[in-house]
Amino acid sequence: DVKIPVSGISIGPVHKRDVMQASIMLERKKEYAVILAFDVEVSKEAREMAKELKIKIFTADIIYHLFDQFTAYMEKVKEDRKKETEMDATFPCVLKILPTCIFNKKDPIVLGVEVLAGI
């Protein structure tokens, strides 16, 4: 279940002003500096400006294709961000508590574990 945050909606072709409006998100959350254009044309000027400002424009004649493109893009952004921070962050792992190695059940909990997945 993916929720797509919407900053603005308009009807008709995508123009430079639409790209300018999307560029506001570059300062807040870069990954949302995108335009989803459903069954409309994108002007040449808008494409050029989007390329210059690094705004993604997704176009499709079928709404489900547009959704799939955006979802794939967000997954790629998520993976890229994970790769950037993998040296600095510890990602979740799967642990198994060893029942014979529970030493303290209250604060602080002291127990032995086996790492099943992760680091």
Q: Give tens-digit pLDDT for 26-63.
A: 998 888 999 999 999 999 999 999 999 999 999 999 99
Segment 64-96, tens digit of pLDDT: 999 999 999 999 998 998 888 777 766 678 889
Predicted local distance difference test score (pLDDT) of residue 115: 86
Angle, vertex CA 76, rays to CA 5 and CA 22, nearest 5: 40
Predicted local distance difference test score (pLDDT) of residue 106: 86
Distances (CA, A) of 119 to 41, 91, 102, 110: 48, 8, 21, 19
Predicted local distance difference test score (pLDDT) of residue 87: 75
Predicted local distance difference test score (pLDDT) of residue 1: 63
Burial level of 35, CB count in 10 A (0-12/13-18/19+)? buried
State the DSSP code for 105: S
State the DSSP code for 2: -
Domains and CATH numbers, the chain: 16-85 (3.40.50.10050), 89-119 (no CATH)
